[in-house]
Amino acid sequence: MARDAFAGHLDLLLLAALRSEARHGYAVIEHMRRTSGGRFDYPEGTVYPALHRLEADGLLRSRWSEVDGRRRRVYELTAKGRRALDGRRREWELFSQGIRSVLEGT
């Protein structure tokens, strides 16, 4: 996926990556790589400013934690983050349905 298109959906992807469990930054990136089949091309460092912004907006919370003997900042969804994820997911589904309808329409 082109970088601009990816950046436009980064927040939704990060919220989705943290839906099932708390993860640190590298684990979030690895999860997105694995589940997307490596389709996204983006500078991995830009994920961290986005995580900090989502936390400042109250959608995530974070804490220091020992992971495999190393100190990592671990992120998890807040209740507000779960609601935001549900809302953005619905928006995305409607948007993608619209695009598909136009592409397949005559």
Partner 1 sequence: MSQQRQAWIEALGDSLRGPRRARQRLIHELDAHIDDAIAAELANGVAREQAEAAALARLGTATEVGHRWSSDVSARQWTARARVLAFGLVIAAFAAPVGLAQRSTQKPVRHNRQPIRQSHILRQVERTNQQR
Footprint on this chain of partner 1 (rule: CB under 8 A): 24-26, 29-30, 42-46, 48-49, 52-53, 56, 70-73
Least distance (Å) from partner 1 to the CB of residue 97? 31
Q: Closest by alpha carbon to 91, among 3, 1, 26, 16?
A: 16
* CB nearer partner 1, residue 52 or residue 88: 52
Least distance (Å) from partner 1 to the CB of residue 62? 9
DSSP string, 41-95: ---GGGHHHHHHHHHHTTSEEEEEEEETTEEEEEEEE-HHHHHHHHHHHHHHHHH
* CB nearer partner 1, residue 44 or residue 76: 44
* CB nearer partner 1, residue 30 or residue 76: 30
43 Cα distance to chain centroid: 14
Least distance (Å) from partner 1 to the CB of residue 87? 21
